Structure 1
């Protein structure tokens, strides 16, 4: 018996015209659509005359139901996986099902389309050749600040999702960790009627959100500039002394790592200092 195929189908994040012809065709042809919220998805499918049966697969049941769907795929059923909006698995359920399919040798085929992450990044005007996607931050400030602290020295562009009831508090925590001057782009309600793309500093964004409560509504993507490179002159003299002592006995990478653990100076900054002092250093 021929196995079914699991299609990962991207759906619009707002504007229905963003649904591709191929996505519509696949959703009509498959035997079953696994959806995060069947009521929400049925409204979308009705817009395109899609009558394929729906199967609820969300964060609370996907671990147990993935085996059921995998068995159906093995028996020849073709299934499309969709989320409430955008590309499935990007901060949405589906990981267990896709992993189970790969383990069972089932073909997994992506049907690309809208993604809030990529849409925001493409319109932000920040370096996008290398970036870090953190999804949704923790709900409580203490845990959220710990996550942000781990990213304080990250030089790549940072991308976060956020909800309307946490946006102001999250920006406040970002100011506390990254500083008010760090550049940010807030992309709100992408592709929808009230789409807003606002570029400013974190401090200015915080004030703007407080002054206009309408801007606190909707779905958010925050694109934040990476940490600026620190000059070697900013390394405290004591840290430089320790680094040089360790360099007498250890390779550059190990010396930078150990000095970082002792002094708190980021190891990349120390590594750069070592290369500056000895450009022929291999780092090993």
Structure 2
């Protein structure tokens, strides 16, 4: 089977502040991308107008609408609309690395018989302390590159919704089994559904990206509800023990980390790359969360 075309899906809800930069980064790689689908999920700001203007600059851009509120239905509408052999999906605040699109196409052209989906590593461009994470990820990607050359597995435990790709044929096979509820992690749901069908995901070197860490700046109650979606998604798939362990992990690790980082994350000025007490007391920038349009 020939795998040669790539669609990129971008769900968007009230993203006028970031959508143009997102598209500009895509346009830098447009020679390797066959269509760009922005899904307007009931935006009340200028998001749709900005995308419409971008269509005059680049005819590969398509603007579609989804009235059912939520990241999962918006994602699904984009995936269903895509015509590429491969369908990548990012968030508006995802900053893809150089050659991201070319590397996705190259990977699937060689390994689509073994892997149905792919994901890449991510760091947060607007949070402190990212150097260590980036270093660890570079080492992991180098190891995966060597494994690929040796024909060894680079299977990933799941997909990261801000930076992923899936074969369109695999999407068609599993989409009817997905959940669109607001209380699930749509990428975890997709990953578990692929696994249940015996389809593998890969952690692909060269598919790196950086994302916003604004989720960590959300109020404590909002963050608590968000991280509990993981265990709920596991429970939906009948993985009761994993769901129970996941709930424990949320209480024992995710929430303590959130609280530990509450001050430094809010005091960090990503433009100056320094800490500022003024930012701490001014409060976080209020933008919609990219993966919870509810």
Scaled by the length of structure 2, what TM-score is found? 0.33
Higher relative contact order (CA closer than 8 Å, sequence separation 6+): 2
Larger Rg over CA atoms: 1
What is the TM-score of this pair, normalised by structure 1?
0.34
